[in-house]
């Protein structure tokens, strides 16, 4: 039997040998993944039948060590060939220890931090018997109405690529098969973040230029980092559903990028080729998906018939070939051998309990939450607060909301282990500080339930109060306090999948609460708990900080930031529009016609973001000087180094994200006014100056040109910008000549 350290040759020999014993039905079974939700018994009985019959290759959403072990014993000991199952789960930002949501990790601009977080997520997940995470989500998103923006790294392909690769390394380590790692499954290939109107699941229409320059790069980076799996998306891409799109799943993924892992569809997305009115019926859907390049079907949840069950008939009728069927099966079996499942398929249940939610894991979650926060306002240097402050009023529906503090897409955390903002503040101050709390307002119900509000998950806590009375009480508390801390935003069920919104307003009567507290004149800190830019209607709190959904130790991290034990250093991973009417509002936009009127694109209000991509304040300040190039003229194909001196001009140690942007002045296509092509988060002591150098290599200067319909790096002149945001900074010019 092949071992986890088996060579690829040994694995391929074992795969071929095993396949020679398999029936066509068993081969189709390896390509089928079923949902199993705890407590949904009739589905579980059906799944067990399929497993015993050798008609299941993988299960998802089982997240209990003993249950995984029980099902694996059925597969190994009761099916004809005893092929172990791959167990998969949405480990997006932690399994039991909730890390900050992925968009928050992107806001840290620290890929190594993201890698650390996902390594812990992988360790906890693997300890209970999971082998595969449906993550990282690497969809580029530029429309904050789309709730799933929270799962990715924001709007920029360069930041998104760095985060994608780092998370793959975190999940998998340096090779697939390590005992405390899992297979990474970047998703959702591709273009899902550009759905019409930000409406989840709605169609996507993207130009080749947008696909190649914006939406593909993070997937390519994830594959180059070794991702073992790719998940194909639900939606229609330029009229061809992603999960039936041969150009996408074969021409790009395999032929262009050389991806050698396996492709799984999103939930039911193979069967749903029929509902797209793309496939004639479900058997046709199965054929179209397999022939497009899908290797495994994630069957429809809640017992929906698996489309791939009809593959034996499709083979008999010649609509699929044995070669294509075998190719898909070999990819799945190869992954199982690489993961060592044939040697060690079962779960050490006792060991898993020792691995989950350790203090060390929590410490990483704490550090991640501290480094993800983005300080947006700090008038008069209100922050950091003194620990000796006399009184603080902590107000808002999310001030003491454990489930929301963990965020969406996490189901096995223990809410009692989560530190809320209120708990963090109470623990941080001394006995001499009075800390009052009011919920402020209710959290309204969604128009329709979240897909995660199901019997198999703990119920979503309800926050329901007498708003009028609570607003009045909150005002009174704010009036009496030295400082008011407001925690406002969106409940975790209001963002993520199936959670798009047609407005960026604060849900419920939170805006009224915000305005009423500000009207007291008490210095106010607004902490924002959400994963998208919201519209606060011009309200101007004294200080404002994005804390995202900061995870298990989020409240502690927030308190450390409020009192200065941690210094905010995060930067926005998206442009923050003034209001929803401006969307889309990418920072990397073209000059287009009359670029001098960019701010005047609307007659009724100024254009431009409220806060730009890459923006974030600190408790210190930084000076940039001496921007220089290793050469101010290079030839196509050559590299240059960009250097700058950064000084901490404040009195506190702090961190700055130094950012490099380029603008190509002319070429076969017009290029954005700025494109991120380098970043480095550095720590500086007060008064310290550090030189930061970025390599500017041909792969960072090339782009996919819709004029030549291919990748080009062309003779041109670049504006080079370096600073602490996508606006401002120092500038210089780089000339690129044609090849000598
Ligand atoms: C969901 C999501 C996908 C997730 C999968 C399994 O519908 O689109 O991101 O990994 O189904 O839960």
Indicate if ligand 1 lies below 6 Å from the C-beta of 267. Answer: yes
* Lowest-confidence pick of 286-300, 446-460, 623-637: 446-460
Q: Which residue has the tokens 């993924």?
A: 253
Ligand 1: distance of its center to the CA of 449 in Å?
A: 17
> How far is 244 from 291, CA to CA, in rounded Å?
8
Question: Is 406's pLDDT higher than 80?
Answer: yes
Ligand 1: distance of its center to the CA of 372 in Å?
A: 25
Q: Average pLDDT for residues 592-599, to the nearest whole number?
A: 94
403 lies in the same domain as 549:
yes
647 lies in the same domain as 563:
no
Q: Does residue 297 sit within a domain?
A: no
Of all protein residues, whose CA lies closest to atom 8 belonging to ligand 1?
266
- What ligand 1 atom has the least distance to the C-alpha of 267? 11
Q: Which residue has the tokens 């914006």?
A: 214
**3-class SS of residue 208:** helix
Neighbours of 432 (CB within 10 A): 10
Indicate if ligand 1 lies below 6 Å from the C-beta of 370. Answer: no
Q: Does residue 384 sit within a domain?
A: yes
Question: Which among 216, 222, 160 is positioned nearest to 185, based on CA atoms?
Answer: 222
- The three state secondary structure string of 641-697 is EEEEEEEECCCCCEEEEEEEEEEECCCCCCCCCCEEEEEEEEEECCCCEEEEEEEEC
Q: Does residue 282 sit within a domain?
A: no
550 lies in the same domain as 414:
yes
Radius of gyration of the chain (CA): 26
Indicate if ligand 1 lies below 6 Å from the C-beta of 529. Answer: no
Question: Which among 478, 473, 553, 457 is positioned nearest to 520, based on CA atoms?
Answer: 478
- What ligand 1 atom has the least distance to the C-alpha of 151? 9
Choose which residue among 62, 90, 182, 233 to substitute to test ligand 1 binding: the one with the highest number of ligand atoms within 8 A of its C-beta.
90
Indicate if ligand 1 lies below 6 Å from the C-beta of 187. Answer: yes
Q: Of all helices (H) and strands (E), which one includes residue 393?
A: strand 391-395
Choose which residue among 267, 272, 411, 496 to substitute to test ligand 1 binding: the one with the highest number of ligand atoms within 8 A of its C-beta.
267
> How far is 320 from 290, CA to CA, in rounded Å?
8
* Distance from chain centroid for Cα 197: 20
Residue-level pLDDT at 42: 77
- Please report, for the domain that includes residue 428, its CATH number: 3.40.50.1700
**Which of 561, 576, 591 represents a domain boundary (last residue)?**
576
> How far is 495 from 570, CA to CA, in rounded Å?
21
Ligand 1: distance of its center to the CA of 137 in Å?
A: 10
Question: Which among 685, 692, 691 is positioned nearest to 648, based on CA atoms?
Answer: 685
Ligand 1: distance of its center to the CA of 171 in Å?
A: 18
Q: Average pLDDT for residues 478-488, to the nearest whole number?
A: 98
412 lies in the same domain as 520:
yes
Of all protein residues, whose CA lies closest to atom 1 belonging to ligand 1?
267
Domain count, the chain: 2
* Distance from chain centroid for Cα 163: 9
Indicate if ligand 1 lies below 6 Å from the C-beta of 90. Answer: yes
> How far is 404 from 413, CA to CA, in rounded Å?
12
List the catalytic residue out of 69, 110, 143, 266: 266
Of all protein residues, whose CA lies closest to atom 7 belonging to ligand 1?
267
557 lies in the same domain as 654:
no
410 lies in the same domain as 512:
yes
> How far is 150 from 148, CA to CA, in rounded Å?
5
Ligand 1: distance of its center to the CA of 72 in Å?
A: 22
Confidence label for 389 from pLDDT (cuts 50, 70 and 90): very high
> How far is 308 from 289, CA to CA, in rounded Å?
9
- Please report, for the domain that includes residue 730, its CATH number: 2.60.40.10
Say if residues 143 and 533 touch (Cβ distance below 8 Å). Answer: no
Residue-level pLDDT at 740: 65
- What ligand 1 atom has the least distance to the C-alpha of 88? 6
Q: Average pLDDT for residues 491-506, to the nearest whole number?
A: 97
DSSP class of residue 417 equals G
Indicate if ligand 1 lies below 6 Å from the C-beta of 151. Answer: no
Ligand 1: distance of its center to the CA of 409 in Å?
A: 10
Question: Which among 497, 429, 425, 438 is positioned nearest to 469, based on CA atoms?
Answer: 438
549 lies in the same domain as 629:
no
Indicate if ligand 1 lies below 6 Å from the C-beta of 272. Answer: no
Domain of 447 in residue numbering reads as: 373-576
Active site residue 266: yes
Q: Does residue 359 sit within a domain?
A: no
**Digit-coded pLDDT (tens) for 523-551:** 999 999 999 999 999 999 999 999 999 99
**3-class SS of residue 191:** coil
Q: Percentage of the chain surpassing pLDDT 70?
A: 99
**Digit-coded pLDDT (tens) for 114-163:** 999 999 999 999 999 999 999 999 999 999 999 999 999 999 999 999 99
What is the token pair recorded at 531? 């994963």
634 lies in the same domain as 518:
no
Question: Where does 294-363 show beta strands of DSSP type E?
Answer: 297-298
405 lies in the same domain as 497:
yes
Q: Does residue 504 sit within a domain?
A: yes
Residue-level pLDDT at 523: 98
Question: Which among 291, 151, 160, 298 is positioned nearest to 220, based on CA atoms?
Answer: 160
Indicate if ligand 1 lies below 6 Å from the C-beta of 26. Answer: no
- Report CA-CA distances (Å) from 244 to 138, 206, 208, 212, 450: 20, 17, 18, 19, 27
Neighbours of 586 (CB within 10 A): 18
Confidence label for 302 from pLDDT (cuts 50, 70 and 90): confident
**Which of 541, 576, 611 represents a domain boundary (last residue)?**
576
Q: Name 659's bridge partners.
A: 679, 723
487 lies in the same domain as 629:
no
Ligand 1: distance of its center to the CA of 301 in Å?
A: 10
626 lies in the same domain as 500:
no
**Which of 511, 544, 576 represents a domain boundary (last residue)?**
576
Q: Does residue 104 sit within a domain?
A: no
Q: Does residue 360 sit within a domain?
A: no
């Amino acid at each position: 039997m092949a071992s986890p350290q088996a060579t690829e040759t040994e694995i391929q020999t074992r795969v071929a040998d095993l396949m020679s014993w398999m029936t066509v039905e068993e081969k189709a079974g390896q390509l089928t993944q079923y949902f199993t939700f705890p407590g949904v018994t009739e589905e579980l009985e059906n799944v067990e039948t399929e497993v015993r019959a050798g008609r299941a290759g993988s299960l998802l959403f089982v997240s209990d060590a003993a249950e995984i072990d029980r099902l694996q014993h059925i597969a190994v000991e009761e099916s004809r060939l005893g092929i172990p199952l791959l167990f998969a789960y949405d480990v997006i930002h932690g399994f039991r220890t909730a890390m900050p949501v992925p968009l928050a990790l992107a806001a840290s601009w620290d890929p190594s931090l993201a890698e650390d977080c996902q390594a812990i997520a992988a360790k906890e997940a693997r300890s209970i018997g999971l082998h595969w995470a449906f993550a990282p989500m690497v969809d580029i998103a530029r429309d904050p109405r789309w709730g799933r923006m929270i799962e990715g790294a924001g709007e920029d392909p360069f930041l998104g690529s760095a985060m994608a690769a780092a998370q793959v390394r975190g999940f998998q380590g340096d090779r697939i098969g390590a005992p405390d790692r899992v297979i990474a499954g970047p998703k959702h290939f591709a273009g899902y973040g550009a759905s019409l109107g930000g409406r989840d699941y709605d169609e996507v229409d993207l130009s080749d230029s947008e696909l190649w320059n914006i939406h593909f790069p993070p997937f390519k980076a994830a594959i180059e980092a070794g991702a073992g799996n790719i998940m194909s998306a639900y939606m229609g891409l330029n009229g061809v559903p992603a999960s039936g799109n041969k150009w996408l799943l074969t021409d790009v993924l395999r032929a262009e990028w050389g991806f050698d892992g396996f492709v799984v569809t999103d939930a039911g997305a193979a069967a749903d080729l029929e509902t797209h009115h793309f496939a004639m019926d479900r058997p046709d859907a199965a054929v179209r998906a397999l022939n497009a390049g899908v290797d495994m079907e994630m069957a429809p949840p809640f017992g929906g018939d698996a489309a791939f069950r009809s593959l034996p008939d499709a083979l008999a009728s010649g609509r699929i070939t044995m070669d294509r069927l075998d190719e898909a099966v070999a990819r799945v079996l190869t992954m199982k051998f690489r993961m060592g499942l044939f040697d060690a398929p079962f779960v050490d249940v006792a060991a898993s309990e020792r691995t989950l939610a350790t203090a060390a894991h929590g410490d990483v979650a704490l550090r991640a939450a501290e480094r993800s926060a983005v300080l947006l306002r700090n008038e008069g240097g209100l922050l950091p607060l003194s620990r000796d402050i006399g009184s603080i009023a902590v107000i808002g529906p999310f001030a003491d909301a454990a489930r929301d503090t963990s965020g969406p897409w996490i189901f096995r955390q223990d809410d009692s282990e989560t530190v809320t903002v209120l708990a963090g503040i109470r623990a941080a101050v001394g006995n001499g500080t009075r800390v009052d709390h009011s919920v402020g307002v209710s959290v309204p119900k969604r128009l329709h339930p979240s897909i995660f509000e199901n019997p198999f998950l703990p119920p979503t806590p309800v926050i329901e109060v007498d708003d009028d009375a609570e607003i009045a009480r909150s005002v009174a508390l704010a009036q009496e306090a030295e400082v008011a801390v407001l925690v406002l935003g969106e409940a975790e069920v209001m963002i993520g999948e199936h959670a798009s919104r047609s407005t960026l307003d604060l849900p419920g009567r939170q805006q009224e609460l915000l305005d009423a507290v500000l009207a007291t004149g008490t210095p106010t800190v607004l902490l924002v708990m959400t994963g998208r830019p919201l519209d606060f209607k011009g309200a101007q709190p004294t200080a404002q900080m994005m804390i995202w959904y900061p995870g298990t130790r989020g409240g502690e991290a927030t308190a450390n930031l409020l009192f200065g034990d941690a210094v905010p250093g995060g930067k926005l991973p998206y442009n923050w529009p003034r209001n929803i009417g401006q969307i889309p509002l990418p920072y990397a936009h073209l000059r287009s016609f009359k670029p001098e009127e960019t701010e005047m694109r609307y007659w009724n209000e100024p254009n431009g973001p409220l806060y730009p991509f890459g923006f974030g304040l600190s408790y210190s300040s930084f000076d940039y000087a001496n921007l220089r190039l290793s050469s101010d003229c290079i030839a196509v194909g050559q590299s240059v180094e960009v250097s700058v001196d950064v000084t901490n001009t404040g009195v506190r140690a702090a961190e700055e994200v130094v950012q490099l942007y380029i603008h190509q002045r002319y070429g076969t296509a017009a290029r954005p006014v700025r494109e991120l092509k380098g970043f480095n988060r550095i720590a500086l002591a007060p008064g310290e100056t550090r030189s930061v150098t970025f390599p500017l290599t041909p792969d960072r200067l090339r782009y996919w040109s819709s004029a030549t319909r291919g990748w080009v790096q062309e003779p041109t002149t670049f504006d080079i910008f370096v600073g602490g945001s996508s606006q401002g900074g120092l500038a210089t010019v780089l000339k690129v000549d044609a090849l000598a």
